[in-house]
Structure 1
Amino acid sequence: MKVTALIDDNLIEQVKKMSGGKNITESIVIALKYYLNNQKIYDVLDAIDKEPLQFNEDFTAYNIRKINRDL
């Protein structure tokens, strides 16, 4: 998709430098993917914060090793 956007030259140069992209397009794609991945992580963390993980009472390292060995 073609997009026209007015973005500060300094910001573009920083994104190019930090992302390691070969050109502006590749650099922006890398930055956007990085941003989306971070947002997904924050969404998971928010979900865990709202409903924390709970382990069974019999959850122990020994029991997990036993399960893994039985596979």
Structure 2
Amino acid sequence: MKVTALIPDKLIEEVQKTSGGKNITESLIIALQHYVSSKKIYDVLDEIDREPLVFREDFTAYGIRKVNRNR
């Protein structure tokens, strides 16, 4: 998709340096992919913060090892 955007030159330069992209387009793609990945991680962390993981009472490391060894 073609997009016209007014982005400060300093920010573009910083994105290019940090992302290691060959050109502005590649640098922006790398930066946007990283942003989306980070956002998804933070969303999951927020969800876990709202509803923490709860393990069963009979959950033990020994029990899990036994299950994994029997596979």
TM-score relative to the length of structure 1: 0.97
Quote the residue 1:9 is aligned against. 9
Shift of 1:29: 0.4
Deviation digits for residues 8-66 of structure 1 (CA, Å, limit 9, x no counterpart): 11100000000000000000000000000000001101111111000011111100100
Corresponding residue number in structure 2 for 1:61:
61
| RMSD (CA atoms) | 0.6
- The share of aligned pairs that are identical, in percent, is 70
Moved over 3 A (4+): none
Gaps of 5+ in 1: none
TM-score (norm 2): 0.97
Local SS of the residue matching 2:49: helix
